[in-house]
């Protein structure tokens, strides 16, 4: 059972990280150097287990990201036989980033009151912005806390507390594997790449991590420019410039881009323009960009992160473990996706061996505007 509250917008020592156990997906994948990772088998929960009440706080208004996390969480809990009830709340972090501290504190107290009223078994906070704003307050509730979608490095997460019932899933993107995918698709013709993303704390973190990757790893593809803006006109100019100057483009975070009136852009409108105007091979870090015209991606999908959360909840119940005894983790699965329509438009032939392990989409288009 789900209950949704869309908030304002209506819309003890260091614990060891859990490292994913990886399996080679196929001989073809092995030949290309891919490692595709799968979660371990989860034993079903005994019949008669108490229904778990989950309260999930998102950092943004409702959209494909939040829907994907809930979908992955729900499906994995159902698969392992964990009965649950779920309530959602959307903290509009872009809005509150522009408000006063008094207003942000009032919203945090409002959310805390709703959590106390609901009395959840697990409180889940999604993404950096909401976690940074709300965790100091939510930690005082003494409810088992889960986080997901945190891009910052552990040392930079000020609210991370190993002395309380808290664990979760950090969000990371496989940079080297993404560049290898691009190189394989283009037969090694790509020599440089530029990044484009919206401007927000998450984008800044991801861009910094990718800059560091290019500095510290030997890559056959060089980083050229970084375009970072929340203005749609800037995005269009950057796409045109990159198509004339670069061999390829890396699309990062498309959310919170605004038109010239300051209204949030509909992702479907952005997608239609991008799919018609990107004239060079492009890769992405999230699956939504594939539906907006990117050519290929090794994606950390919200469904995967939701399933990771469910695995932690399942372990806590099955083994009667406090969250403080369950190590936080990094994603244990990525999905390779190729946009055939865009590849065909750029006259790029998909290697037949990739068809054995990649998901190929033949049509673009989004069902949701966010």
Average pLDDT over residues 305-319: 95
What is the mean pLDDT of the segment spanning 3-28? 40
pLDDT per residue as tens digits for the range 104-122: 999 999 999 999 999 999 9
What confidence tens digit (pLDDT) does each residue in 169-214 have? Answer: 999 888 999 999 999 999 999 999 999 999 988 899 999 999 999 9
Residue 288: half-sphere exposure toward Cβ, Cα within 13 Å:
22
What is the per-residue pLDDT for 362? 79
Q: What is the pLDDT of residue 45?
A: 66
Distance CA 55, CA 85 (A): 9
Confidence at residue 54, expressed as pLDDT on a 0 to 100 scale: 98
Mean of pLDDT values over 281-297: 89
* Rounded distance between C-alpha atoms, residue 141 and residue 138, angstroms: 6
The per-residue pLDDT for 273 is: 94
Alpha-carbon distance of 329 to 170, in angstroms, equals 6
pLDDT above 90 (res 348): yes
Residue 144: partners with Cβ closer than 8 Å, 6 or more residues away: 121, 122, 123, 165, 166, 316, 322, 323
- Whether the model clears a pTM of 0.85, i.e. scores above it, the answer is no
Query: With 50 as the cut, is the pLDDT of residue 256 above it?
Result: yes
What is the reported pLDDT for 119?
A: 97
pLDDT of residue 228: 96
Q: What are 177's two structure tokens?
A: 């594997």
| Residue 322 falls in which region: left (phi positive, over 0), alpha (psi -120 to 50) or beta | beta
Q: How confident is the model at residue 370 (pLDDT cuts 50, 70, 90)?
A: very low
Taken in order of first residue, the domains within the chain and their CATH numbers are 2-27+37-172+301-325 (3.40.50.2300), 175-299+335-361 (3.40.50.2300)
Helix (H) or strand (E) holding 227: strand 222-228
144 neighbors 165 (Cβ within 8 angstroms): yes
| Mean pLDDT over each residue of the chain, to the nearest integer | 86
* Nearest-angstrom CA–CA distance, 369 and 271: 10
Model pLDDT for residues 22-68, shown as the tens digit of each residue:
322 332 343 344 333 444 456 666 667 899 999 999 998 888 889 99
Q: What is the pLDDT of residue 35?
A: 38
């Amino acid at each position: 059972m789900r209950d949704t509250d869309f908030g304002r917008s209506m819309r003890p020592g260091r614990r060891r990280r859990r490292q994913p156990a990886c399996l080679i997906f196929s001989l073809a994948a092995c030949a290309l150097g891919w490692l595709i990772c799968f979660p371990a088998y989860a034993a079903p929960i005994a019949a008669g287990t108490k229904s778990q009440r989950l309260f999930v706080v998102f950092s943004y208004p409702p959209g494909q990201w939040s829907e994907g996390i809930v979908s992955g969480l729900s499906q994995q809990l159902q698969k392992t036989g964990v009965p649950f009830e779920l309530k959602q709340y959307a903290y509009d972090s872009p809005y509150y980033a522009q408000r006063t501290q008094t207003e942000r504190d009032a919203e945090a107290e409002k959310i805390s009151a709703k959590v106390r009223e609901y009395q959840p078994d697990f409180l889940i906070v999604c993404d950096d912005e909401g976690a940074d704003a709300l965790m100091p307050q939510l930690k005082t509730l003494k409810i088992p806390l889960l986080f997901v979608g945190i891009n910052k490095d552990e040392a930079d997460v000020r609210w991370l507390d190993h002395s309380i019932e808290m664990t979760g899933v950090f969000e990371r993107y496989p940079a080297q594997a993404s560049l290898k995918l691009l190189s394989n698709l283009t037969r090694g013709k790509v020599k440089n790449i530029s990044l484009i993303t919206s401007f927000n704390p998450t984008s800044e973190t991801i861009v910094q991590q990718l800059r560091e990757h290019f500095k510290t790893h030997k890559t056959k593809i060089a980083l050229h420019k970084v375009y970072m803006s929340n203005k749609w006109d800037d995005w269009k100019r950057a796409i045109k410039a990159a198509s004339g100057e670069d061999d390829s483009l890396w699309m990062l975070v498309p959310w919170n881009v605004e038109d010239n009136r300051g209204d949030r852009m509909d992702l479907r409108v952005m997608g239609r323009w991008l799919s018609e105007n990107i004239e060079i091979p492009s890769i992405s870090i999230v699956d939504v960009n594939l539906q907006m015209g990117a050519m290929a991606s090794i994606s950390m999908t919200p469904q995967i992160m939701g399933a990771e959360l469910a695995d932690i909840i399942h372990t806590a119940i099955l083994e009667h473990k406090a969250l403080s005894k369950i190590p936080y983790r990094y994603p244990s699965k990525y999905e390779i996706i190729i946009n055939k329509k865009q590849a065909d438009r750029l006259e790029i032939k998909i290697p037949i061996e990739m068809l054995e392990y990649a998901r190929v989409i033949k049509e673009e288009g989004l069902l949701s505007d966010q």
